[in-house]
Structure 1
Amino acid sequence: MEPHAYAAFDAVGLRELIRTREVSAAEVEDAARRAVEQVNADLNALTGPLFDPAPAHEPDGPLAGVPFVIKDSGPFTQGVPFTLGSRSIRGAYALVDHDLMARFRTAGLVALGQSTAPEFGLNFATESVRYGVTRNPWDLERGVGGSSGGSAALVAAGAVPFAHANDAGGSIRVPASCCGLVGLKPSRGRTPSGPLAGEAAFGQLVEFGLTRTVRDAAHLLDAVSAPTVGEKYQLAPVARPYADEVRTDPGRLRVAVTTVPWSGVPVDRQITEATVAVGQVLEWIGHIVTEASPDVDADEVVEAVMLSAVSTGGAVLRGAPRRPDPSALEGVSRRVLAEAESFTALDVLAAMEAQHLVTRPIGRFFLDHDLLVTPTLAQLPAPHGALDYDDARHSVRSWLRRIFEHGPFTALFNVSGHPAISLPLGQSREGLPIGVQLIAAHGREDLLLRAAAQLEQAVPWGERQPGVYVD
């Protein structure tokens, strides 16, 4: 199988080829390895060489033989080193599989390598001192977003149909928007966070992935979303597979649209226009569309997200094989570790109260609306260096405000725990992808996937390809 033929299929399509024995799993893996190495020369999206051999996986799982990459976001795959994108972490290995990786293995997914992420995952740009700049296949002078940027670059360039990603403030949806992908952040409790983390980022971090198609997101969610015994946050099993939801009419939905961020930062006009156009498409389909948004305080959002930032620093201090050398850290990371150590129980309680002050009005909002539509980002993909994580002048709060100037719409739903998805429904005059975000009530990934599939059919994006693509 040649790489260009391989890249034409999504994960479900590749699995069907393998199931019907049109190609073998070994042929798919070989094509994928060649594809990854080909595009990575331009993108710099891997932390090192490809795994050889790939970690063990079930040969008969529902996605057996489908290649993917894992994100360098901590201990995830047994025996595989991780760095969190930092020069300060060396010699650290995962001793056990993350529960999500165990489910990836059971599904039969084949891990080929590890993708880049910014230091500690605390940036909307994937640019670290350790690994350098990961470049956007749509424009090599622009960033891929963050923090799951290496994963996004490889999926967008056709090298893998799916990549592991996680999201504590937008780290799935932001790179999805920058790279023209489907980025689903499931509800809090839908995917596992153990066994090493009991409550990842105080419930704000969700594990999942990035895809090119809505049906892949649905099939992947089916493969990994069963409840986990003993987890603090978990949801009841769904009535039927998510793969069935993408073929189901959502009915007539009450859709709210807003292009105004809660922080009041400016939004690029092309992004505003793309979001309004999605509202018009939904109205044309037959949904009831109004202009509305939840009433939340932007300062409370920042305070709540502080829980995620300082818990990241705390996890590094607890989990690294040795205390990080401050001189080997980037500027903001030094502040993260310092503030994590100085954060008191009263600070934690205040931030948790801010979380509740954000979550309650959003919950009430979805009593009167089925979907909320917003931009994913306020700006087009940023030029390299625009979000400088090594700037030592920042405190943690000032850094969060800086990245939320670029992406003010995503973190709100990590705080509240609602499911959200970024879809590549727009394109700028420069030919750059524009993501539009859909949010549903807690636990309603079914509704989100129905609406996403409807939009994928009405405004198809599958024929668009970036300048850097397999072959």
Structure 2
Amino acid sequence: MTLAMSWDEWARHDATAMAERVRRREVTPAELAAQAAAGVAKTNPAVSAVVEVFEDVVADPLRDGMDPGGRFAGVPYLMKDLGPTLKGRLQEMGSLLMRGNRAAADSYLTGRIRRAGLNIMGRTTTPEFGCCSSAENPAVYVTRNPWDLDYTTCGSSAGSAAMVAAGVLPIAHATDGGGSIRIPAGVNGVIGLKVSRGVFSIAPAASDLTGLVSIQGCLTRSVRDTAAFVDACRGGAPGEFMPYWTAPEPCTDLIQRDPGRLRIALSHEWGDYRATAERVGELERVGRFLEGLGHHVEWALPAVDFRAAFAAQTTCYISNFAQTIANLLAPRGLKRPPADLVEPINIRIWEAGLDTSYTERARMQAVFNATSRAFGHFFEDWDIILTPVTALPTPRIGTTEYLTISDNPSVLDWFGNLWRNFAYTPLANLCGIPGISLPLAMQENGLPLGIQAQARQANDGLLLQLAAQIERAIDGKWNAGRVPGVHVAAG
């Protein structure tokens, strides 16, 4: 087939640039979709990140209601196989149990995405029900890191991160219940923003009150694309339990200006959890870089009872996921998760969490409140807190201790092991504050290392403003200008 542009040229375009070319009539949405599909065909055999390409939408980008007059003008987009539904399309959630499951209707956010001019042309991989750190079950699929195929992409927005990193498309859908946008962004070298509570709707099936920690979003390679996605897709559906806030000005306008001098705290000692020396060194290096941009940087930590916070977060996950699984079993007439269709840890989570009492949830919510207040007080004195995205090296493929195919008999021990590596992201979900992973560092194994910035609730714009300042300072060269070995422009 004849491509609309060379792969080198393609990979230099972010979504904003692609949309501008469509508006200038230099390319069409159908040509962009065809090239993105060719990119999937070129890279997916190695990384196994895309479950399905919607060939009918590639042929006709208007087929499912995408608005070509929207901000993104028909730019190709992949949807994580979890979260917002697409009417008539499969949504299998990384699970054998859900094979053949088709959605009856679009979710509210799906409509916002389509009205923004994003052409949803396929599904990306996720661990079963989004409940672990890697899309890695050989019975379903094994998603590999495009930087080094011996390593995981982490998760749970695994396939989306791999496809954006590999240059297949500039933006893809992601979700984050405890780091599932920021962690794969960090280890795949892309940009991942977890917004504050009250930005992207999870209607109609849930709300910010019932979801509590779950956030929608995207993964990109440029700050302006992330800002544009927030501007175009934010907002509550009719009947939201909680108010949806609006920013005083569009993020796309805000990022044109540098922030003032910020008070930035560096931290990696979160209760019992510590980063390796290499990560601490990278964090300090980025801190010095930010001092060079004129910011005040020093070590500081919120006065949080971290043990209580992680225990409460664990209670939240176990009880939430147990109900998720129960809600999937009921329409299928199943009394318990079948051992041949649901992964072992998810069965144990169902067993452990199904009968969580209101008293236990009330204790959990009291800790959530105390933790959120502690972060709130911290952000009276500090604008940003900076951490590594992960504490330990990215796991190699086959490291089952982090996976829901683990044979660990203890759910609590399994979650405790997750926190040892992924401690720095989930408390933002607990508190409803924003966090962003920026591809500013490298691991000793050669994979990217995201540096995470978090801010007070509803200060999402400040995170994007700082990210844009950094992007200008490095001349747009995230990952020090490096690209992964599996990439559309390689070979």
Normalised to the residue count of structure 1, the TM-score between the two structures is: 0.96
Task: Please tell me the root mean square deviation across aligned C-alpha atoms, in Å.
Answer: 1.7
1:221 CA displacement? 0.5
Kindly provide the amino acid, as one letter, of the partner of residue 282 in structure 1: L
Q: Structure 1 residues 353 and 266 mapped into 2: Cα distance closer, same or farther (>3 Å)?
A: same
- Counterpart Cα distance in 1 of 2:256 and 2:372: 31
Q: Structure 1 residues 74 and 91 mapped into 2: Cα distance closer, same or farther (>3 Å)?
A: farther
Equivalence for 2:79:
70
* Deviation larger for 394-403 or 32-41: 394-403
Equivalence for 2:412:
397
* Deviation larger for 34-43 or 193-202: 193-202
Any idea what the Cα deviations from partners look like across 1:36-83, whole Å, max 9, x if unmatched? 111111100122344423533112111121111101114521111212
Q: 2:390 aligns with which of 368, 377, 386?
A: 377
- Counterpart Cα distance in 2 of 1:88 and 1:227: 31
Aligned pairs (5 A) from 1:407-418:
407-418=422-433
1:132 CA displacement? 2.3
Residue 437 of structure 1 aligns to a residue whose secondary structure is: strand
- Counterpart Cα distance in 2 of 1:297 and 1:439: 18
- Counterpart Cα distance in 1 of 2:273 and 2:311: 17
Residue 48 of structure 1 aligns to a residue whose secondary structure is: strand
Any idea what the Cα deviations from partners look like across 1:301-341, whole Å, max 9, x if unmatched? 22332213321221231245413423321111011111232
Aligned pairs (5 A) from 1:279-428:
279-305=287-313, 306-320=315-329, 321-322=331-332, 323=334, 324-386=337-399, 387-428=402-443
Equivalence for 2:35:
31
Q: Structure 1 residues 341 and 51 mapped into 2: Cα distance closer, same or farther (>3 Å)?
A: farther
* Deviation larger for 227-236 or 23-32: 227-236
1:362 CA displacement? 0.6
Kindly provide the amino acid, as one letter, of the partner of residue 161 in structure 1: P
1:3 CA displacement? 5.5
1:200 CA displacement? 6.7
Equivalence for 2:229:
220
Residue 247 of structure 1 aligns to a residue whose secondary structure is: coil
Kindly provide the amino acid, as one letter, of the partner of residue 388 in structure 1: L
Q: Structure 1 residues 369 and 65 mapped into 2: Cα distance closer, same or farther (>3 Å)?
A: same
Any idea what the Cα deviations from partners look like across 1:150-196, whole Å, max 9, x if unmatched? 11000000111111001000000000001001000000111111111
1:249 CA displacement? 1.6
- Counterpart Cα distance in 2 of 1:178 and 1:200: 30
Q: Structure 1 residues 311 and 428 mapped into 2: Cα distance closer, same or farther (>3 Å)?
A: closer
Unaligned runs of 5+ in 2: 59-63
- Counterpart Cα distance in 1 of 2:85 and 2:384: 33
Any idea what the Cα deviations from partners look like across 1:384-442, whole Å, max 9, x if unmatched? 12223212324332222111111110001100110000000012344310100001110
- Counterpart Cα distance in 2 of 1:51 and 1:298: 48
Kindly provide the amino acid, as one letter, of the partner of residue 38 in structure 2: R
1:94 CA displacement? 1.6
Aligned pairs (5 A) from 1:51-450:
51-53=55-57, 55-74=64-83, 76-199=85-208, 202-260=211-269, 262-305=270-313, 306-320=315-329, 321-322=331-332, 323=334, 324-386=337-399, 387-450=402-465
Unaligned runs of 5+ in 1: none
Residue 435 of structure 1 aligns to a residue whose secondary structure is: strand
- Counterpart Cα distance in 2 of 1:95 and 1:232: 23
Q: Structure 1 residues 9 and 196 mapped into 2: Cα distance closer, same or farther (>3 Å)?
A: same
1:226 CA displacement? 2.6
Normalised to the residue count of structure 2, the TM-score between the two structures is: 0.92
Q: Structure 1 residues 201 and 182 mapped into 2: Cα distance closer, same or farther (>3 Å)?
A: farther
- Counterpart Cα distance in 2 of 1:95 and 1:221: 26
Q: Is contact 2:198-2:245 (8 Å) kept? A: no
Kindly provide the amino acid, as one letter, of the partner of residue 10 in structure 1: D
- Counterpart Cα distance in 2 of 1:129 and 1:468: 21
Kindly provide the amino acid, as one letter, of the partner of residue 388 in structure 2: P
- Counterpart Cα distance in 2 of 1:94 and 1:48: 15
Q: Structure 1 residues 335 and 151 mapped into 2: Cα distance closer, same or farther (>3 Å)?
A: same
Kindly provide the amino acid, as one letter, of the partner of residue 342 in structure 1: D
1:201 CA displacement? 5.8
- Counterpart Cα distance in 1 of 2:454 and 2:208: 23
Q: Is contact 2:97-2:342 (8 Å) kept? A: yes
* Deviation larger for 323-332 or 115-124: 323-332
- Among the aligned pairs, what percent are the same residue? 35
Q: Is contact 1:168-1:204 (8 Å) kept? A: yes
Residue 154 of structure 2 aligns to a residue whose secondary structure is: coil
Q: Is contact 2:408-2:414 (8 Å) kept? A: no
- Counterpart Cα distance in 2 of 1:47 and 1:233: 34
Q: Is contact 1:168-1:201 (8 Å) kept? A: no
Q: Is contact 1:74-1:83 (8 Å) kept? A: no
